[in-house]
Amino acid sequence: MLTIRKAREEDAKAVGRVHREAIREQSRGHYTDEQIEAWTSPRPPGHFEKVIREKEMYVAEEDGEVVGFGGLHVEAAEVDAVFVSPTAAGRGVGLKLLWTVEERAREAGLKSLRLDASLNAIGFYERAGYELKGMGERRLWNAAVIPCAHMSKEFAD
């Protein structure tokens, strides 16, 4: 059974694993091997713990294993990330995480959300009601740059 819950610092290792696996598996064909390696390179110690502490992050858990995560940066009105393990992809896990993030955004009084989607995730976000605003680049933590899609969604009152 799938459960969505607020992430805890002890989820950081599993979040990092899902992040790497999802990028390596689902981004092929959209990004070069060099971009994928830069994107999945080891983070500084404590990176995901810090993200969990400082932003709102939710995890999808199935049979005691984290299979996805989604984040919200309330101050920026931004979906920080939605990643799903390749073993759980295609089963609605990402959508349930996104709905959780959107619900929390509404509770915080936000009228819209923006995000920078990876090229392979554009269709996912469009199906969830996000509109493509343009193409751009995203600077990663290690200064590498990857192409992305700027997207946003207005919430109905």
Pairing of strands 2-6, 65-73: unpaired
Structure pTM? Answer: 0.93
Residue 140 lies in a domain: no
Helix (H) or strand (E) holding 51: helix 47-54
Is 122 within the bounds of a domain?
Answer: no
Q: Is residue 126 part of a domain?
A: no
Domain membership flag for residue 32? yes
Domain assignment present for residue 9? The answer is: yes
Question: What average pLDDT does this structure show over 5-13?
Answer: 96
Amino acid at 44: P
Q: Give yes or no for residue 157 having a pLDDT over 80.
A: no
Cβ neighbours of residue 70 closer than 8 Å, sequence gap 6 or more: 57, 58, 60, 79, 80, 81, 82, 83, 94, 97, 98, 100, 101
Q: How many structural domains are present in the chain? A: 1
Residue 138 lies in a domain: no
User: What domain range is 47 assigned to?
Assistant: 2-116
Residue 141 binned pLDDT confidence (cut-offs 50, 70, 90):
confident
Per-residue pLDDT band at 156 (split at 50, 70, 90): confident
CATH number of the domain encompassing residue 52: 3.40.630.30
- Percent of the chain with pLDDT strictly greater than 70: 99
- What is the per-residue pLDDT across 110-130, written as a single tens digit (0 to 9) for each? 999 999 999 999 999 999 999
Residue 65 counted as domain residue: yes
User: For residues 56 and 142, what is the distance between their CA atoms, to the nearest angstrom?
Assistant: 22
Within-domain flag for 30: yes
Q: Which of 29, 40, 27 is nearest to 142 (CA)?
A: 40
Angle between helices 47-54 and 12-26 (to 10 degrees): 100
- What is the three-state SS of 55-118? CEEEEEEECCEEEEEEEEEHHHCEEEEEEECCCCCCCCHHHHHHHHHHHHHHHCCCCEEEEEEC
